[in-house]
């Protein structure tokens, strides 16, 4: 089953810490967003494998933008 | 009262009339409601009230129109206990003319609201219906009912909870809009004007769910709590009321050491402030209000060592915890609820300040932020402050600084203080001197140096040396400190009477 993770806020993709195929545990930081001069980690909601990465570093995103999906 | 004899004719008639109110006697109505995937009002009543505690008022009323049928005229109401505490319940029955507000059930509501005011009983409302019953609206039959005025007058006198189980429009929405806590079930709809009014005014045909979907109301701060179904909504209502009475249940303390690592060392790194709340309060005791609205501030009720309190916390994950107009209003109203019913307020401060800029000004931040300051400045209940990290500008002033005379003002080791944002402060204090430095590299090095000096001056220990805080503490001992502080609080019955003030906005 795939879990899609969306951005809770607008910002810029600062760093991507996990790539497609990487396995993740629940709570692992996958993406760091930058917003209001703060680094906001986006975590894996479940344990699994990163199936799709929808964004790249430097990309500006809006609220509810699809970030990545985790395959359990 | 087992009596084998056939009741006398007069008693028999009464018993039959009362039996006719219950679901067993109304299979068609029950089937209709279940076909909609919804509970009947009597089912909801059974889940809400403690067993055998409900005393019905006006159950024998029927519609005033000759020949029109309708159990209890569409409103089930009475006294009951919820987790042992007495309450008044008013619950519309959707199976009786769509839960409509009738001539008589307005009278019933007025009776119950006046009853609640006199006996100081919380009111739980089940708001299932679409406003007035047209058949009852003939000229001369109904003057403006006092229902809404009486309910408005209960504000701040007793806790009021509303549940929107499917559709609440017009008069039902008026009541919803005045509840302290409004709980909505997913898929339900709420609005001042339903489809006929929208069609007449705007010329478009829409369903109730298109006009006022629940999720839109959750984001707008109209709905306080979203529930998946009836059982969860009723559980939320019971839980909300639990904060306004002594806690009788078990108390489990969280792992105190978890708090040491919630705030990251990297000062630019955001974190989830709800983890701080979880680390401070009794396990599972936190109930968040308006989670989807004004997300840069978190508000909710919780308990520490079994004692209820309200919590207002900046959320660094959203807008870095800046207080915008909506956040200020969300927190202001929450603080008013706490003050009205004697709950101390814990302020967890991590804010870069109030939101600045033209967009924020257009939103009315000057007035709306003043609402929060006014609410806290006039609160009778004790405040407690913990500075988790950033404490800047008017944002910190409002989030429990010394001027508000909190019962205790604590800071964590990473606390950063500044009368304003430090980058701006460097520019104001040293801008001219910096501009005089021609070499850019030298200028920026000097700027960084000045910034570092200010950061040092604003650090937890340096500011504590100037008595900005009562103490700087190990995050792991925060809960124990707050609990000891709460030991010093007066009984809420000894609070002075509430004073009215003018809302700045």
Q: Tell if the CB–CB gap between B269 and A37 is shorter than 8 Å.
A: no
**CATH class assigned to A2-71:** mainly beta
Which ranges of chain B have pLDDT less than 50? none
Asked if B320 reaches chain A (Cβ–Cβ under 8 Å), the answer is: yes
Per CATH, the homologous superfamily of domain B256-415+459-494 is 2-enoyl-CoA Hydratase; Chain A, domain 1 (3.90.226.10)
Token pair belonging to B75: 């409103």
What residues does each domain of chain B span? 11-242, 256-415+459-494
- What ipTM describes this predicted complex? 0.78
Q: Do domains B11-242 and B256-415+459-494 have the same CATH topology?
A: yes
- Strands B167-169 and B189-191 turn out to be parallel
Taking the C-alpha atoms of residue A53 and residue B360, their distance in angstroms, rounded to an integer, is: 34
Domain B11-242: which CATH number of 3.90.226.10, 3.40.50.10470, 1.10.10.10, 3.40.50.1100: 3.90.226.10
- 110-169 in chain B: CB under 8 A from chain A: none
Interface test with A, best of B294, B317, B321 (most A CBs within 10 A): B317
What integer pLDDT is reported at residue A1 of this predicted model?
85
Token pair belonging to B180: 């302290």
Residues of A in contact with B269 (CB under 8 A): 38-39, 41
Could you please report the per-residue DSSP string of chain A? -EEEEE-SS-EEEEEE---TT-EE-TT-EEEEEEETTEEEEEE-SSSEEEEEE---TT-EE-TT-EEEEEE-
CA dihedral B440, B443, B447, B450 (to 10 degrees): 170
Q: Tell if the CB–CB gap between B316 and A39 is shorter than 8 Å.
A: no
Question: Minimal Cα distance from B316: which residue of A?
Answer: A38
The answer to whether residues A36 and B319 touch, using CB atoms and an 8 Å cutoff, is yes
Expressed in percent and rounded to 5, the helix, strand and coil fractions of chain B are 45, 20, 40
Q: Tell if the CB–CB gap between B317 and A39 is shorter than 8 Å.
A: no
Higher pLDDT, B176 or A35: B176
Q: Tell if the CB–CB gap between A38 and B322 is shorter than 8 Å.
A: no
Q: Which residue has the tokens 């489990």?
A: B252
Interface test with A, best of B268, B294, B324 (most A CBs within 10 A): B268
Taking the C-alpha atoms of residue B173 and residue B190, their distance in angstroms, rounded to an integer, is: 6
Asked if B319 reaches chain A (Cβ–Cβ under 8 Å), the answer is: yes
pLDDT 10s digits, B362-377: 999 999 999 999 999 9
What integer pLDDT is reported at residue B142 of this predicted model?
60
**In chain A, what is the straight-line distance between the N-terminal and C-terminal CA atoms, in Å?**
5
The answer to whether residues B130 and B91 touch, using CB atoms and an 8 Å cutoff, is no
The H-assigned helical ranges of B208-285 are 208-211, 214-220, 230-242, 273-280
Among B358, B357, B363, B359, CA closest to B327: B363
Taking the C-alpha atoms of residue B116 and residue B90, their distance in angstroms, rounded to an integer, is: 11
Interface test with B, best of A7, A37, A38, A41 (most B CBs within 10 A): A38
What integer pLDDT is reported at residue B284 of this predicted model?
97
Q: Which residue has the tokens 């003939």?
A: B138
What residues does each domain of chain A span? 2-71
């Amino acid at each position: 089953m795939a879990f899609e993770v969306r951005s809770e806020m607008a910002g810029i993709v600062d760093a991507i810490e996990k790539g497609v195929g990487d396995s993740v545990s629940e709570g692992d930081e996958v993406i760091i967003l930058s917003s209001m001069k703060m680094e906001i980690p986006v975590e894996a909601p479940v344990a699994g494998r990163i199936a799709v990465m929808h964004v790249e570093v430097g990309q500006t995103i809006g609220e509810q933008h699809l970030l990545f999906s985790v395959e359990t | 009262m087992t009596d084998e004899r056939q009741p006398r004719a007069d008693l028999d008639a009464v018993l039959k009339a009362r039996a006719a109110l219950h679901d067993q006697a109304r299979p068609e109505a029950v089937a209709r409601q279940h076909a909609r995937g919804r509970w009947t009002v009597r089912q909801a009543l059974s889940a809400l009230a403690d067993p055998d505690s409900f005393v019905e008022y006006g159950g024998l009323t029927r519609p005033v129109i000759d020949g029109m049928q309708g159990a209890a005229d569409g409103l089930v109401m009475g006294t009951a206990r919820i987790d042992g505490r007495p309450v008044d319940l008013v619950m519309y029955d959707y199976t009786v003319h769509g839960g409509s507000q009738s001539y008589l059930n307005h009278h019933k509501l007025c009776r119950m609201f006046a009853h609640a005011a006199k006996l100081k009983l919380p009111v739980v409302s089940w708001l299932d219906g679409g406003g007035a019953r047209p058949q009852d609206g003939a000229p001369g039959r109904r003057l403006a009912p006092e229902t809404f005025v009486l309910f408005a007058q209960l504000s701040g006198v007793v806790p009021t909870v509303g549940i929107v189980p499917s559709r609440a429009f017009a008069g039902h929405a008026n009541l919803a809009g005045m509840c302290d806590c409004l709980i909505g079930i997913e898929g339900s709809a709420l609005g001042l004007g339903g489809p006929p009014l929208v069609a007449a005014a705007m010329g478009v045909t829409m369903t109730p769910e298109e006009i006022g979907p629940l999720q839109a109301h959750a984001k707008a701060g109209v709905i306080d709590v979203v529930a998946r179904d009836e059982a969860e909504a009723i559980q939320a209502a019971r839980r909300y009321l639990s904060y306004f009475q002594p806690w009788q249940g078990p108390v489990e303390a969280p792992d105190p050491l978890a708090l040491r690592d919630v705030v990251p060392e990297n000062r630019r790194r955001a974190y989830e402030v709800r983890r701080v709340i979880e680390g401070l309060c009794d396990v599972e005791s936190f109930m968040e209000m308006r989670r989807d609205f004004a997300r840069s501030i978190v508000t909710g009720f919780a308990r520490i060592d079994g004692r209820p309190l309200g919590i207002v916390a900046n959320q660094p994950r959203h807008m870095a915890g800046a207080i915008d107009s909506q956040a200020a209003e969300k927190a202001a109203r929450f603080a008013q609820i706490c003050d009205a019913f004697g709950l101390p307020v814990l302020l967890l401060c991590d804010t870069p300040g109030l939101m600045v800029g033209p967009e924020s000004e257009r939103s009315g931040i000057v007035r709306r932020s003043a609402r929060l300051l006014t609410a806290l400045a006039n609160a009778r209940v004790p405040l407690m402050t913990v500075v988790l990290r950033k404490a800047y500008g008017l944002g910190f002033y409002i989030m429990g600084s010394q001027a508000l005379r909190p019962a205790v003002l604590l800071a964590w080791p990473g606390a950063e203080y500044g009368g304003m944002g430090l980058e701006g402060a460097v520019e104001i204090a040293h801008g001219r001197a910096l501009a005089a430095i021609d070499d850019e590299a030298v200028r920026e090095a000097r700027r960084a140096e000045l910034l570092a000096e200010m950061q040092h001056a604003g650090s937890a220990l340096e500011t504590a040396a100037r008595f900005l805080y009562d103490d700087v503490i190990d995050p792991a001992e925060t809960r124990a400190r707050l609990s000891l502080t709460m030991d010093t609080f007066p009984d809420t019955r000894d609070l002075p009477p509430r004073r009215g003030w003018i809302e700045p906005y």
